[in-house]
Structure 1
Amino acid sequence: MFVVAAGLNHRTAPVAVREQLAFAGHGLPAALCKLKGETGVAGCVILSTCNRTEVYVACNQEETGLRAAKNFLGRSCHLAAAELEGYLYTFNTHHAVRHLFRVAAGLDSMILGEDQVLAQVAEAYQVARETGTTNNVLNTLWQQAITAGKRVRTETRIDANTVSVSYAAVELARQVFNGDLAGRTVLVIGAGKMSTLAARYLKDKGVTTVLVSNRSYDRAVALAETIGGRAIRLDALEDYLCRADIVISCTAASHYILHREQVDRAVAARPGVPLMLIDIAVPRDIEPAAADLPGVKLYDIDDLQQVVLANLEERKKAARQAETIVAAEVEAFFRWLGSLYVVPTIVALKEKAGAIKEAEVRRACNRLGELTPRQQKIIATMANTIVNQLLHEAVVNLKTAALTSRGHLYAEALQQLFGLQVKDAQSAGEMAARVEGGRQF
């Protein structure tokens, strides 16, 4: 049994292409059933996020599995086959397994080490299993990928340091307010990408009230609606400034949006209550002199960028450790996969050899006529010895191969050469665990 993968992501395809191959939650089961219906597909899982769409297929022949995966993706979008081909990547068994483990660990994400992808991997597997499109190999693969992703985060803390300016701004606010933003009011000035990300992070971290102001009031309304906030007009900004605990500003204005005098009046209207200003705009939105006011803490993008760069270095260090963990987990999976087919192959080989031996011993005894028990025993022993010696080296080498990433290939080659009939994958897995005492995930 092989596992292959085909897909595209944020590095190989623009969003206009990715959105054509996005499988929404309600449509995912139907898509899985279509993929499972492709020729040669024994099991499948589809991982579809905003940054990637990947299909994983268990199959008896890699070439057939990859063709099925690509055919499915081609029929699922409105692109010509040649055009789609330019965006796709494909992986054979070893690389497919390693890729999935790296995805689950956050090593293949747009933001190195981000933690959302692990939940997405788990959800993709859950939907596929509930739809009935997985098999024993895929079940073990995805369970172990999820385990590996959790292990990476626990042992390396790769997701502990923020690596985007918007997220760093929110984390800085949490630090200033002792990790608790519940009950706080945040004023977000601007409705662009960075402001939108910051607003969403704030809601995720428990901020009670988010006010959104923008030069285009309609855009402010649209952003406020998506996060459950409230839009305010830019000309009413000062009226609401005194109500905010945190201000995050990121506009495209060429001049200051907030001047020192405005901040001074806001602080005076709420004596004893600190005001945190985070200016992530270039050019800056908030007059730097506002930092001199008592009770005001002003941070600009340079302050945050230093945090981001330092944290990115920490994540890169953690990523190197994570790659080592992934390599170990991949090796463990292939040891299991090798034993899945090696052990029942050995059993089938010995059973076939034993049946041939017994038949030939009976034939020889019949042709020799009356034999004493001792003579019969000698013939049987000789036949056993010949069979055991012939099979011994093959069995030892096959068990050794089971510890490598190509163990299943040797097993399948032996099955083809000797015309062996082995147990199905589920029975083989149980047999492998029982005979070898191997690791079962």
Structure 2
Amino acid sequence: MGHIVLLGMNHKTAPVEIREQLAVACASQANPLQLFPYLRHVQELFFLSTCNRVEILFTCLSLDEATQEIKALLRTHLGTPQISAAELEAGLYVHRDEQAVRHLFRVSASLDSMVVGEPQILGQIKAAYREAITYRTVRVILNRLLHKAFSVAKRVRSDTMIGCYAVSISYAAVELARKIFGELEGKKVLVIGAGEMAELAAEHFLAQGVRHMAVANRTLERAMALSQRFKAKTVPFDHILDELKDVDIVLTSTGSPMPVLTFQDVKSRMRRRRNKPLFFIDIAVPRDIEQRVNEIDNVYLYDIDDLQGVVELNRTERRKEAERAEHIVWEEALKFQEWLRTLDVVPTIIALREKAETIRRNEMRKTLAQLPGLADRERQAIEVLTESIVGKLLHDPIMFLKKKATRDSKQIFVDHTQQLFNLTDGNRPHSSALTEVLANVKKDNENSQQK
């Protein structure tokens, strides 16, 4: 039985200066997947690089030699002059077998992310998997493992609420707006400012169905860049008061030292709105909107402190959901380990089926040769009958082997089965004896791609 190994570094084990240099090197200088043919001790290879982690997942028979090859690959082909061998080694972690499986499942379920519950990591793993398929570096084991990781992430999302609580200020702001209005589709939004926080908020608004968005910024070029990305219109910064008569939500995130909107500015515009509710989200520090604006009828103002309280509460809720998700990960990791252990009996099961089928066909040929007058329908009926008999006879010994596959003493039962049925080809190499498993994996892959 071989090993599954995961070697990497993330935001917990290495400073960003090292991670970013390694990630850049991986992306631009040498893709590890291209070097796969030169790795003598590595059987399968998967590579993941994001802004917060660099990980290599591989299978091998010789654990020490393969691990040293992967480390040498990182040092020689992916290392940069700015990263010493000692720095690289200090930031690396190595997980083996069940620990590696569990780590991958935690990563895919976003339990190991800097922001627990963020959805982007699963898409990044799927993209890395497609790249590995292109380079043909994943086979039976990693194919099955990665597809299992996808299903674990999906189960965590469906069985827990880990992704339902906003843990960023921008996301919390949009979630607050959604709770107030019920749904945001059809609502009009004015974004004042074009920095990172405003950009993230605009992205979340778009995801919630907002299609009428305007952007105002002191630097027109920045406003235009943001508006083009989110298909919004630009508004001259000096004309933002005119926009107040039409919009439903105003989000502000500027660097202004003084308020951008005053009590009098808003109050005078509410008459033209005929007191239609107006929702302000001020995520700027210093604040962009005078606090007194909240005293105006049908005007609702939330600042960054209000949202910070929501975020902290949501972080607590996510931690509770993460505990439930961890249980799912452990359960699914154990199931995968059980599947791995069954691979040792697969060659014997296949040999048993092939021998039985060979005997059936030979006997069918002899019998049909003596009955030349049989019609095609009768021949087909005999074919079905003999296949059914063989299948029923093999059912019990095959189920017996599968049940024993999870035991440490499984080799004893495999040897006895080979001797009992005289399976001379029962010891064929592991990689060539997995025809049935490969077929199932291929079927699983096709089903996943269709979904």
* TM band (smaller chain): 0.7 to 0.9
By how many angstroms is 1:310 displaced? 2.1
- Change in Cα spacing, 1:67 to 1:209, as seen in structure 2 (3 Å) is farther
By how many angstroms is 1:42 displaced? 1.0
Which residue does the alignment assign to 1:46?
Answer: 47
Q: Secondary structure at the match of 1:400?
A: coil
By how many angstroms is 1:429 displaced? 8.0
Which residue does the alignment assign to 1:76?
Answer: 78
Q: 1:400 aligns with which of 384, 387, 407?
A: 407
- Measure the CA separation in 1 of the matches of 2:214 and 2:292: 24
Task: Give 1:330-369 correspondences, 5 Å limit.
Answer: 330-341=333-344, 344=347
Identity %: 41
By how many angstroms is 1:71 displaced? 2.9
1:273 aligns with 2:276: yes
Task: Give 1:47-66 correspondences, 5 Å limit.
Answer: 47-66=48-67
- Measure the CA separation in 2 of the matches of 1:25 and 1:198: 31
Q: 1:252 aligns with which of 251, 255, 259?
A: 255
Flag structure 2 segments of 5+ consecutive residues without an equivalent: 352-401, 416-425, 441-447
Q: Is the deviation greater in 170-179 or in 238-247?
A: 238-247
- Measure the CA separation in 2 of the matches of 1:338 and 1:194: 49
Q: Secondary structure at the match of 2:138?
A: coil
Answer whether contact 2:341 2:405 (CA < 8 A) is retained: no
What root-mean-square deviation, in Å, do the aligned CA atoms of Structure 1 and Structure 2 show? 3.5
Answer whether contact 1:339 1:432 (CA < 8 A) is retained: no
By how many angstroms is 1:274 displaced? 2.2
- Measure the CA separation in 1 of the matches of 2:274 and 2:157: 43
Give per-residue Cα distances to partners, 1:205-247, cap 9 Å, x unaligned. 2221333333444443443344343444433322333332211
Which amino acid letter does the alignment assign opposite residue 143 of structure 1? H
By how many angstroms is 1:258 displaced? 1.1
- Measure the CA separation in 2 of the matches of 1:17 and 1:334: 34
By how many angstroms is 1:111 displaced? 1.4
Aligned pairs, number: 374
Answer whether contact 1:2 1:59 (CA < 8 A) is retained: yes
Which amino acid letter does the alignment assign opposite residue 429 of structure 2? K
- Measure the CA separation in 1 of the matches of 2:343 and 2:216: 60
Which residue does the alignment assign to 2:356?
Answer: none
Which residue does the alignment assign to 1:437?
Answer: none
- Change in Cα spacing, 1:432 to 1:56, as seen in structure 2 (3 Å) is closer
TM-score by length of 2: 0.73
Answer whether contact 2:122 2:153 (CA < 8 A) is retained: yes
Give per-residue Cα distances to partners, 1:364-422, cap 9 Å, x unaligned. xxxxxxxxxxxxxxxxxxxxxxxxxxxxxxx999852389xxx9xxx9xxxxxxxx954
Q: 1:145 aligns with which of 134, 149, 157?
A: 149
Which amino acid letter does the alignment assign opposite residue 224 of structure 1? S
Q: 1:423 aligns with which of 429, 435, 441?
A: 429
- Measure the CA separation in 1 of the matches of 2:180 and 2:349: 64
By how many angstroms is 1:342 displaced? 5.5
By how many angstroms is 1:268 displaced? 2.5
Which amino acid letter does the alignment assign opposite residue 276 of structure 2? V
TM-score by length of 1: 0.74
- Measure the CA separation in 2 of the matches of 1:158 and 1:320: 10
Give per-residue Cα distances to partners, 1:5-24, cap 9 Å, x unaligned. 22222333455543444479
Task: Give 1:2-13 correspondences, 5 Å limit.
Answer: 2-13=3-14
- Measure the CA separation in 1 of the matches of 2:333 and 2:161: 20
Which amino acid letter does the alignment assign opposite residue 13 of structure 2? T
Which residue does the alignment assign to 1:365?
Answer: none
Task: Give 1:303-314 correspondences, 5 Å limit.
Answer: 303-314=306-317
Which residue does the alignment assign to 1:32?
Answer: 33
Q: Secondary structure at the match of 2:91?
A: coil
Which residue does the alignment assign to 2:380?
Answer: none
Answer whether contact 2:350 2:433 (CA < 8 A) is retained: no
- Measure the CA separation in 1 of the matches of 2:429 and 2:47: 28
- Change in Cα spacing, 1:31 to 1:229, as seen in structure 2 (3 Å) is farther
By how many angstroms is 1:253 displaced? 3.1
Give per-residue Cα distances to partners, 1:260-296, cap 9 Å, x unaligned. 1111233223225321101122332211111122221
Which amino acid letter does the alignment assign opposite residue 171 of structure 1? E
- Measure the CA separation in 1 of the matches of 2:50 and 2:429: 37
Which amino acid letter does the alignment assign opposite residue 270 of structure 2? V
1:291 aligns with 2:297: no
Which residue does the alignment assign to 1:364?
Answer: none
